[in-house]
Amino acid sequence: MAAPAAAGAFEGIDAEREVFWGFTRPQLLAFGLMLVFIAVAPFFLYPVFLMKVLCFALFACAFNLLIGYVGLLSFGHAAYFGMGGYLAGHSAKVWGFTPEVSIIIGGLAGMLLGWLIGMLAIRRQGIYFAMITLAMAQMVYFFCVQAPFTNGEDGIQAIPRGAFLGSVSMARDFNLYWLVAGIFVISFLFIHRVIHSPFGQVMKAIRENEPRAISLGYRVDDYKLIAFVISAGLSGVAGGTKSIVFGIATLTDVFWTMSGEVVLMSLVGGLGTLFGPVAGAAIIITMQNYLAEFGAWVTVIQGVIFVLCVLAFRRGVVGEIGRLLKVRL
């Protein structure tokens, strides 16, 4: 999908110049604001809620790497997210690993799964790609329903939070929050770095014009697969972190509605923008929590937001703000 932010229009404007580590000046400002918010928020807002937002923000950023920068819409990202959660949970609970090791294992699980599915999926593009990823994710779901280690419907329960590096207890929400925040910021910077590397430039070239990228001698499939694996791996990290935070890993995280939700988050925030997925995740998670008393209307309201975004705000919240301020965020 072509990124809606018409980046070309701003070329030559000072706001376009990368001033530090691939950030433009407005991006740097936005990043600074985000860091300040992450640092200050736990003193005012409920930390568990904030951790949930951060997990989903990371998930959405990982998803956005594919759609926003390679132009591939995956409708099966729940598979990597959920599998990461299961493996991290299993590592922490059964194998007794520390939280950071468990989360890394979750990420590796996502990468491995992403590699397997990616090899098949990248053979097709556009809608075909979306449907293949969806179907493969369903297969993963069936596997999770039946595999003994996931405990079927009950899920993996009471996953211990453990102690960071084996020494700092994570039992207090406040302690765990800093670990989650750290994982998020590092992953966010990693994604940013990938996008701004020569590798990222080729990815964008593939998005804009795949035949030309091929004719220039790039092995397009390799690039796509690597991007897919990175995205899946980071989704696994997000899922693993979430299962450590909540102490549970269950089937909802592997179900296809979760794949739809991450699409919604990225869409609401702004596809192909750096900060869009973060904003989108914050909006959707907040909504889910506040709408909990409205019962069945939750799905309806989510659907309405989907429709409105597609029809009227294709740039998403961050994209629209960027357009108003004439900057790329």
Q: How far is CA 230 from CA 5, 126, 162, in A?
A: 23, 19, 27
Furthest-apart CA pair in the chain: how many Å? Answer: 58
Q: What does the alpha-carbon distance between residue 236 and residue 255 come to, in Å, rounded to a whole number? A: 15
Closer to other proteins by Cβ: residue 19 or 307: 307
- Please, which residue, 130 or 181, has the CB nearer to other proteins? 130
Closest to other proteins by CB, 123 or 219: 123
Q: Please count the helices (runs of H) and the strands (runs of E) in the chain.
A: 13, 4
Residue 285 CB, shortest distance to other proteins, in Å, is 8
Taking the complex as a whole, how short is the minimal distance between the CB of residue 278 and other proteins, in angstroms?
A: 15
User: What Å distances lie between residue 14 and 10, 23, 24, 276, CA to CA?
Assistant: 9, 12, 9, 22
- Closest approach, Cβ 271 to other proteins, in A, equals 10
Residues ≥6 apart with Cβ < 8 Å to 316: 4, 266, 267, 268, 269, 270, 271, 273, 276, 279, 280, 309
Our CB check for other proteins shows the closer of 157 and 197 to be 157
Distance CA(14)–CA(63), nearest Å, equals 29
Smaller CB separation from other proteins, 27 or 102: 102
- Phi first, then psi: give them for residue 109, nearest 5 degrees: -60, -45
CB of 25 to other proteins, least distance (A): 30
* Closest distance to other proteins from the beta carbon of 208 (Å): 13
Cα 184 to Cα 179: distance, rounded to the nearest angstrom: 9
- Using CA atoms, how far apart are residues 66 and 84, in angstroms rounded to an integer? 18
Tell me which residue of 261, 284, 272, 259 sits closest to 318, measured CA to CA: 272
The least CB distance from residue 292 to other proteins, in Å, is 4
Q: Quick one: 27 or 133, whose CB is closer to other proteins? A: 133
CB of 259 to other proteins, least distance (A): 10
Distance of CA 281 to the CA centre of its chain: 9
Q: What CA–CA distance (Å, rounded) separates 286 from 326? A: 28
Q: How far is the CB of 48 from other proteins (least distance, A)?
A: 5
Residue 179 or 327: the one with the smaller Cβ distance to other proteins is 179
- Cα 150 to its chain centre, rounded Å, is 23
Q: Would you say 220 or 309 has its CB closer to other proteins? A: 309
